[in-house]
Amino acid sequence: MNMEALTLDQAQHMLQKYYGYPDFREGQKHIVSSLLEQRDTLGIMPTGGGKSVCYQIPALLLPGLTLVVSPLISLMKDQVDALTTMGIAAAYINSTLSGKEVNDRIRAAKRGELKLLYVAPERLELDWFRDEMATLPISCVAVDEAHCVSQWGHDFRTSYLAVAPFVEGLPQRPIVAAFTATATPEVTDDMLRLLRLQEPQVFVTGLGRDNLAMSVLRGENKRDFVKSYISSNSHQPGIIYAATRKDVDDLYQRLSGAGIAVGRYHAGMSDHERAASQEGFLYDDIRVMVATNAFGMGIDKSNVRYVIHYNMPKNMEAYVQEAGRAGRDGEPSQCILLFSAQDIMTQKFLLEQNPLESERKHNDYRKLQQMVDYCYTTRCLRNAMLDYFGEEHTDEPCGICSSCTDERELIDMTVDAQKIFSCIHRMRERFGVSMVASVLKGSRNKKVLQYGFDSLSTYGAMANRTEKDISEIINVMASEGYLSLSEGQYPVLRLQPLAADVLKGQRQVMQRMVRPSASGSGTSARSRGTRGGDHSPSAVNETVFEQLRLIRRELAGKEHVPSYIIFNDATLREMSVVCPRTEYEMLNVKGVGEVKFRKYGQPFLDFFTQQSDDSYDGNYE
């Protein structure tokens, strides 16, 4: 086929035929068009935004082979399973295969029997592999998780640096398409430079996903919250991320002891244990996965309804990528971060265990502080996230995050703010949050007295509050830009221009502050948009939906693939509303392509036909 002649109409035809969707999302459309025009392309799209479609559809139209660089074995298998289920010729080469199997797949590619071949970046460093690839008609190299090429990203892998030399070593340079879910401006620059993209088109397609309700909850009893939340959402699949193996094991024991179908995943488990746990979650035998951040990068499970962070992650990139594993099917889902001050110390401890060069560690401390600021902000969380990644947006609040749904009244904190700023000034901006809080409380601890801070006019100026409350207020002020914290293990507070305006009486500080209550903050926090399972469209017949899931599960068992690869939950929900009884009606359900209909459609049609007959018989009698 002549590459010049490729059009978006042809791509949309392929999308409908294989994927069962009539049109691309707006962001996908631009990226697909760019690749059909043979242009190097960088796509920054949120997790669940449909990145893979952006290179898979062009792969069907471009002559020859699309080589996909993918970082994880589980991710490759998941993608190839999904493609072959749709009738698309795809394969992977990784360390799970024998030498014979690898050679067989390369020969299949040489015969033109494959349209997509997935490989790990480490393969590109092997001389024999580069020689074999040089004999193939590669029209496109798609680089998944492209942020891994940057040492400023959160998953730096040196093997990604082999991509550009590999591409340049091919007899004819193919199109290069790079994709990632999250990237700061500096990481974006690194991807463009280190992958050596030529006159690239760059598309950022909106990291703020409308179906995700983001929440940050402070002061919760974390164990009680998790147990209560899962119990009230027992029919929904979810992931709980914890910072340490110890927390994972503790939560796993508590939840399994409560009769919850739970799995766990961390680096301290054997390969066999981790694989069994992951498979149980993918196949819906396990409803809840408790894991460290080692879990999830290669998981395409579309029906995760909630992601709970038991501890604050180390940076915003990690948080957004992990939280984004909720609601990949577009259905409303919850992303809940349970924050406590101890989380900061945990992350600093983990950071200090890493033998990183000082510049990298300096950068990681800066990112950690930005994550802390996010946890304390009273702004719309979606807007705060978009600002972090440098994405343009309106100031319109999302309306569904915990900040937007916070019903507490605004409190005038101007006087307290002036006390705090004045104290920091008098302490010559040389100390951190804890020390400032101690002085404002009027503490008699050794260091306060040693530095003579008990003689300051601000000493004991907030004696009516606890040091914890004062520290909380200081951190909120820092997140709102009145103060900054220096980078490093022991950050120091510094006044910003906004604080000067407050001290001069030219600016008022209004904040929604935590109010103590007899029952704690848990109940009010949960009332602010963190209940799961209540967002289903009213038209969905939940009984029918559950019956469709049983049919899907039986088909998945026969195919030995996870259920969502057959049809995702959003497709089943639409089916439960439409109740298709003909091929035409079934093919008009989003997510039902021609090949999938031929392979899996009949049991669903039979179900709806039977439902219709039963209804008719009932009315007749």
Confidence of residue 194 (pLDDT cuts 50, 70, 90): very high
- CATH assignment at residue 262: 3.40.50.300
Nearest by Cα to 296 from 238, 361, 221: 238
What pLDDT, on the 0 to 100 scale, is given for residue 536? 43
Give the residue from 354, 388, 422 where a domain finishes: 388
Summary mean pLDDT of the chain: 87
Tokens of 157: 């892998």
Of the CA atoms within 13 Å of residue 359, those in its CB half-sphere come to: 2
The reply to whether 103 falls in a domain is yes
The pLDDT of residue 532 is above 50: no
Amino acid at 464: N
What pLDDT, on the 0 to 100 scale, is given for residue 263? 93
DSSP assignment string, 416-471 = HHHHHHHHHHHTTT---HHHHHHHHHT---HHHHHTTGGGSTTTTTTTTS-HHHHH
Query: What are the two backbone dihedrals, phi and then psi, of residue 139, each rounded to the nearest 5 degrees?
Result: -95, -20
- CATH assignment at residue 503: 1.10.10.10
Degrees, nearest 5: CA angle 131-134-136: 125
Q: Which residues contact 439 (CB under 8 A, 6 or more apart)?
A: 423, 427, 448, 453, 456, 458, 459
Computed on alpha carbons and rounded to an integer, the radius of gyration of the chain in Å comes to: 27
- Same-domain pairing of 84 and 227: no
The pLDDT of residue 381 is above 90: yes
Average pLDDT over residues 460-488: 89
DSSP assignment string, 314-369 = SSHHHHHHHHTTS-TTSS-EEEEEEE-HHHHHHHHHHHHHS---HHHHHHHHHHHH
Summarize pLDDT for 95-130 with one digit per residue, the tens.
888 999 999 999 999 999 999 999 999 999 999 999
- Same-domain pairing of 315 and 350: yes
Q: How far is it, in rounded angstroms, from Cα 152 to Cα 71? A: 17
- CATH assignment at residue 565: 1.10.150.80
How are strands ordered across the β-sheet holding 201-204?
A: 90-93, 116-119, 65-69, 138-143, 175-180, 41-44, 201-204
Q: Which residues contact 131 (CB under 8 A, 6 or more apart)?
A: none
The reply to whether 26 falls in a domain is yes
- Same-domain pairing of 343 and 428: no
CB 207 within 8 A of CB 47: no
Q: How far is it, in rounded angstroms, from Cα 86 to Cα 561? A: 13
What pLDDT, on the 0 to 100 scale, is given for residue 535? 38
Summarize pLDDT for 287-331 with one digit per residue, the tens.
999 998 867 655 678 889 999 999 999 999 889 888 988 988 888
Q: How far is it, in rounded angstroms, from Cα 78 to Cα 71? A: 12
Give the residue from 188, 204, 220 where a domain finishes: 204
Average pLDDT over residues 124-140: 95
Confidence of residue 517 (pLDDT cuts 50, 70, 90): very low
- Same-domain pairing of 232 and 174: no
Burial of 621 (0-12, 13-18, 19+ CB in 10 A): exposed
User: Helix 358-376 to helix 381-388 angle, to the nearest 10 degrees?
Assistant: 160
- Same-domain pairing of 190 and 226: no
Q: Mapping DSSP to helix (H, G, I), strand (E, B) and coil, where does residue 156 land?
A: coil
Residue that the structure tokens 């179908």 belong to: 261
The reply to whether 402 falls in a domain is no
Query: What are the two backbone dihedrals, phi and then psi, of residue 195, each rounded to the nearest 5 degrees?
Result: -85, -5
What pLDDT, on the 0 to 100 scale, is given for residue 78? 83
Q: Which residues contact 166 (CB under 8 A, 6 or more apart)?
A: 124, 130, 133, 141
Confidence of residue 539 (pLDDT cuts 50, 70, 90): low
Cβ count within 10 A of residue 504: 9
- Same-domain pairing of 81 and 104: yes
Indicate the DSSP class of residue 591: T
Tokens of 225: 């919250």
The pLDDT of residue 518 is above 60: no
Q: How far is it, in rounded angstroms, from Cα 417 to Cα 404? A: 23
The reply to whether 435 falls in a domain is yes
Give the residue from 373, 388, 403 where a domain finishes: 388
The pLDDT of residue 265 is above 70: yes
The reply to whether 526 falls in a domain is no
**In Å, what is the CA distance from 379 to each residue of 21, 307, 383, 477?**
36, 21, 8, 12
Nearest by Cα to 482 from 462, 497, 504, 503: 497
Confidence of residue 408 (pLDDT cuts 50, 70, 90): confident
Tell me which of 78 and 382 has the higher pLDDT.
382
What pLDDT, on the 0 to 100 scale, is given for residue 279? 85
Summarize pLDDT for 39-90 with one digit per residue, the tens.
999 999 877 678 899 999 999 999 999 999 998 877 788 889 889 999 999 9
The reply to whether 393 falls in a domain is no
Confidence of residue 210 (pLDDT cuts 50, 70, 90): confident
Cα-Cα-Cα-Cα dihedral sign, residues 369, 373, 374, 375: positive
- Same-domain pairing of 340 and 427: no
What is the distance of C-alpha 572 from the center of its chain?
24
Confidence of residue 487 (pLDDT cuts 50, 70, 90): confident
Average pLDDT over residues 527-556: 68
What pLDDT, on the 0 to 100 scale, is given for residue 318? 87
Q: Mapping DSSP to helix (H, G, I), strand (E, B) and coil, where does residue 264 land?
A: strand
Summarize pLDDT for 569-604 with one digit per residue, the tens.
889 989 999 999 999 999 999 999 998 999 999 999
- Same-domain pairing of 377 and 437: no
How are strands ordered across the β-sheet holding 238-241?
A: 212-218, 333-339, 306-309, 238-241, 288-291, 262-265
Number of structural domains found in the chain: 4
Summarize pLDDT for 336-370 with one digit per residue, the tens.
999 987 888 888 888 888 776 777 788 888 889 89
- Same-domain pairing of 138 and 34: yes
The pLDDT of residue 155 is above 80: no
Cβ count within 10 A of residue 322: 22
Tokens of 577: 């509303």
Query: Which domain range does residue 575 map to?
Result: 542-620
The reply to whether 397 falls in a domain is no
Nearest by Cα to 465 from 419, 407, 520, 430: 419
Average pLDDT over residues 505-519: 65
What pLDDT, on the 0 to 100 scale, is given for residue 537? 43
The reply to whether 401 falls in a domain is no
Q: Is 341 left (phi over 0), alpha (psi -120 to 50) or beta?
A: alpha
Tokens of 508: 């008022």
- Same-domain pairing of 171 and 228: no
- Same-domain pairing of 193 and 219: no
pTM: 0.73
- Same-domain pairing of 465 and 613: no
